[in-house]
Amino acid sequence: MSDSEVRDLNACLHTLAIEARELYLHDTVPVLDAPPSPLQFYRDYVSSNAPFIIRNAVGHWPAITKWNNKFLKETLGDKQVSVAVTPNGYADAINDGYFVMPEERQMKMGDFLDTLSEDSSSNGVFYLQKQNSNLTTELSCLMPDVDDHISWATEALGKLPDAVNFWLGDKRAITSMHKDHYENLYCVISGEKHFTLLPPTETYFVPYGDFPAAVYKENSKGEFDIVPQPDIGTVPWITVDPLSPNLKKYPEFGQARAINCTLKAGDMLYLPSLWFHHVHQSHGCIALNYWYDMEFDIKYNYFKFTESIGDICRYHKKAKEKIKKKESS
């Protein structure tokens, strides 16, 4: 490909992102006064793959006033739960050339809650975040305090959620940028969650790499070793931190227009399928999210196409850069 040809593809990929912003997205996440009707939800948001927030959408749930560390300790103190433990708060993230998953530890809920207390001497960052519908399985006794599905979303999408996940953890715990094949309704019960969002039409700006899989494992000295997991092979993962992007290394990411938003207790975010998201939180923040299977329809079809064109463009850009470097050396 000649320079001008690569520029042609590059220009198309930029135009896609810019026109999305102009046609149907906003500078900020729109805030609705009340839940949409099922039809409005599908037509105005799911179909056009656009997020929204409803302030105080779940303020009426008993969970909002009931769930705190004391209550959880009393109710679930002896319950065994799966907790993700990392040295730095980054579970499922790149470290030292690996895609490193957390050490998954079975522990009593009471002991986990102790790791969040101010005077905790625990080693590492603890995050209750197992996304296997842990609310309906490990923590099902909490279900009466919340809705087991979001009725207008269930009606709109024509199915029940595939998973309801409970999140509780340290302020240092970070969900690194990624995307899911789910329509996601994210509700904060206490504290705050901070989201950085990017639409799938900006996929070209988001750099990926392939990394061998590994897990953290605390050793006898209290250090976290990175233990390779050759059986898993390599994992494609996003290489940029949207909160402090290395634009010298990933200049294209400078073209991305991230949208930030914060959810407080009672708020709900509709996070559309395939949107890139990075999440961090206040200390001890409790949240729930409802994952509904996405449709593998025309949006997904076009997204895969866009990814493949982005791959071609990036490949030829890199090839050109290599040639230029060779010529100048």
Question: Where do contacts with a second copy occur on this chain (CB under 8 A)?
Answer: 1-2, 5, 8-9, 12-13, 15-16, 19-20, 23-24, 38-39, 42-43, 46-49, 155-158, 201, 295-306, 308-309, 312, 316
Cβ at position 208, least distance to a second copy in Å: 17
Largest CA distance in the chain: 69
Q: Which is nearer to a second copy, 20 or 286 (CB)?
A: 20
Nearer to a second copy, 201 or 239 (CB): 201
- Looking at the Cβ atoms of 49 and 134, the one nearer to a second copy is 49
Tokens of 228: 């390779």
Name the DSSP letter for residue 272. -
Cα–Cα distance, 309 to 298 (Å, whole number): 17
* 3 or 78: CB nearest a second copy: 3
Would you say 19 or 78 has its CB closer to a second copy?
19
Q: Burial of 99 by CB count in 10 Å (0-12 exposed, 13-18 middle, 19+ buried)?
A: buried
Q: Closest separation between CB of residue 16 and a second copy, Å?
A: 4
Which is nearer to a second copy, 3 or 104 (by Cβ)? 3
Of 16 and 197, which has the nearer Cβ to a second copy? 16
287, 193 contact by CB (below 8 A): yes
Residue 235 token pair = 């994992």
Nearest distance in Å: CB 135, a second copy: 26
Residues 6+ apart with CB under 8 A from 19: none
- The minimum distance between CB 47 and a second copy, in angstroms, equals 4
Closest C-alpha to 200, from 102, 117, 300:
300
3-class SS at 179? coil
Minimum gap (Å) between residue 159 Cβ and a second copy: 11
CA–CA separation, 25 vs 74, rounded Å? 45
Give whichever of 27 and 297 is closer to a second copy, judged by the CB atom. 297
| Cα–Cα–Cα angle for 165, 97, 193, rounded to 5 degrees | 30
Closest CA to 193 of 294, 280, 78: 280
Q: Which is nearer to a second copy, 264 or 317 (CB)?
A: 317
Return the structure tokens found at 44.
């105005």
**In angstroms, what is the minimal distance from the CB of 180 to a second copy?**
17
Helix axes 3-23, 298-328, angle to 10 degrees: 140
Distance (Å, rounded) from C-alpha 112 to C-alpha 100? 21
CB of 162 to a second copy, least distance (A): 17
| Least distance in angstroms from the C-beta of 244 to a second copy | 29
- The pairing of strands 174-178 and 90-91 is parallel
Query: Minimum distance between the CB of residue 161 and a second copy, rounded to whole angstroms?
Result: 16
The torsion angles phi and psi of 301, rounded to 5 degrees, stand at -55, -50
Q: C-alpha angle with apex 263: 176 to 267, nearest 5 degrees?
A: 130
